[in-house]
Amino acid sequence: MLFYYLLPGKTMKKLFLLIAIAAIVTSCSQTSELTKSENDLEVFLEKIEKDNLSEGPVVSSAYWIGSNFITHDSQNIVADYSKRYTLKSLENSRIASSFNDLKTSDSNRRKLELLKSSFVMPPPFDENLASELSSISTKLEAMYGSGEYCYEDGSCYDLEAFEQIIDNSRNPEDLLMAWNGWHEIGKPMKPMYMRMVEIGNQGSRDLGYSGLDDLWFSKYDMPADEFLEETDSVWEEVKPLYDALHCHVRSKLNDYYGDEIVSLDGPLPVHLMGNMWGQSWSNIYDLVYPEASQTKSVNVTQIIEDRNINEIEMVEYAEDFFLSIGFEPLPDTFWKRSLFVKPQDRSVVCHASAWNLDPSNNDLRIKMCIEKNEEDFITIHHELGHIFYYQAYNHLPTLFQGGANDGFHEAFGDLLTLSITPDYLNRIGFISEDEAELAKNDSIGLLMKQALEGVVVIPWALMLDKWRAGVFTGEIGKDELNQAWWNMRESYQGIAPPSERSEQYFDPGAKYHIPGNTPYTRYYLARIMQYQFHESLCNEMGFVGPLHECSIYGDKVAGEKIISTMAMGQSSPWQDAFEKLTGSRNISGKSVMNYYKPLKDWLDTQNNNRICGWE
């Protein structure tokens, strides 16, 4: 994932003018009466650029410390920085709004619009509320990062320990224990989360938006309602593939667990899916595709274990991919300052993330508690996608240092995972050429493994922010948060909790992006766009063959196209960058369907005479 509030161009890049709230409100009325000139705008933007370069790295370091050393003192520091720089952002947004009627260049107008829409959870123009919001946000993230549940026998489990069970066990009782245990951490978050939303809605209105939902979905260079309509239409294109996959997986889980645990016509029990949130089903691959035991599929986890490849070496393999297509090597500071292994002496936020701490000095880092398995091998490639994106656009003015839209960062990270093919694994020495050919002979196995992650996540990524939008608008009341969460999960994903979940629980809080306040629509966009990127690049390379066998590893033509698109940052509407890479200005689910066509045909045959869908 990506910490957008840490990226240059976001919260920490804003000019800091410590002004009393009364003065802010007064100045709002006064500035509207003044005529702003182009010179005033240039002075304003130059001051922001200067302060971003000097102050941004210090703020980033404070957040880095807060995530890597979760203590009372570090959280106080983060809360203080968050409050002060949020107030800076608010003041800059107010000043940017005063130039609304000024005719200026497209570049300057875009900078102004980015300044006005740079918030995720804005406080009102009130220092006390800004302080309260900052404190709540910091506490929620710390609660997640240090969360654990202890049992009567004195044994305590954090997320990593619970995930070891969820990811690997097939014992329904153990899986239930682990799922229930981790979801206890959400309970105390509920009142704080709702108070945060209340303050954020007021802050959004102060900035001229109708509320948080309007703020969140107005950042896509098109009217919010048109954007949401487009995302829904794309889901309808992909839904037949997901429904076919769901039907097959349910049948196989029923074979393994029996009717009492998995029904043949209902939603899937989330705790059996091999992932704490049911957003990936790759850990149950052997159950849903038992044919893999008779084929020569590649077990990357086994290769990593057999060769005793350590965490740093896993990252070096991922860097090599980017170097092969023309990127510059990562700086020495990346290797010295990143967190690759979970420390034994302190609590950290283990959720994988990429950091652009000091763009002018190329201080790039990842923070990740790497496990030596295939999932983390793929995740490392994803996180380095963010890192090399930073490196590509860090030459731009700080306000343009960001993804073309928030989905682009995730899409470029995900794009590389599609190229982890048998041929790629052969070229990096993981398997022989003969082993690669044998693996390719089982195309259904390869596509099934990818679909259990890449397709399964699509409805999850769509529904999460739809739930959050309902909370923001009040359509989902505070007394129905959990019910609405599970209703939407069943509707979109066909997934249900292992037992009834009352409103005393706050199950959304068990997913980092809710207490961490990270918008999730970016992941939905990324999962769609990565396939369009992949298909376009493979066509550009002149690749002939099934789309899922194409790898851009070592191809400088594909690399040049990626690098030149990345280098645009957010200096232009995202449709311009999208068109540069794909030749189209619209997202579409057709590339997803093209990629998985062999699997969809196979699933349709398997599902003949099965009951599909859920009630």
Radius of gyration over every alpha carbon of the chain, rounded to an integer in angstroms: 24
Q: Can you tell me whether residue 339 is helix, strand or coil?
A: strand
Q: CA 119, CA 113: separation in Å to the nearest integer?
A: 12
Half-sphere exposure of 147 (CA within 13 A, CB side): 28
316 labelled catalytic: no
Helix runs in 325-373, H state only: 332-337
From 352, 392, 496, 526, the catalytic residue: 352
409 labelled catalytic: no
Neighbours of 563 (CB within 10 A): 19
381 labelled catalytic: no
433 labelled catalytic: no
Q: CA 175, CA 272: separation in Å to the nearest integer?
A: 7
523 labelled catalytic: yes
From 246, 271, 386, 534, the catalytic residue: 386
C-alpha distance from residue 562 to each of 404, 411, 555, 613 (Å): 13, 11, 11, 39
Q: CA 114, CA 219: separation in Å to the nearest integer?
A: 8
Q: CA 591, CA 237: separation in Å to the nearest integer?
A: 10
Tokens of 115: 């300044």
How far is residue 167 CA from its own chain's centroid? 20
From 351, 381, 409, 548, the catalytic residue: 351
513 labelled catalytic: yes
From 163, 383, 490, 535, the catalytic residue: 383
246 labelled catalytic: no
From 183, 248, 381, 382, the catalytic residue: 382
Report phi then psi at 130, rounded to 5.
-60, -40
Closest by alpha carbon to 209, among 128, 122, 96?
A: 122
383 labelled catalytic: yes
Scored b (16 or more CB within 10 A) or e, 495-507 reads bbbbeebeeebbb
From 81, 193, 523, 595, the catalytic residue: 523
From 163, 410, 453, 535, the catalytic residue: 410
Do 130 and 114 touch, CB atoms closer than 8 A?
no
From 513, 577, 595, 596, the catalytic residue: 513
Q: Which sequence positions are flagged as catalytic?
A: 351-352, 382-383, 386, 410, 513, 523
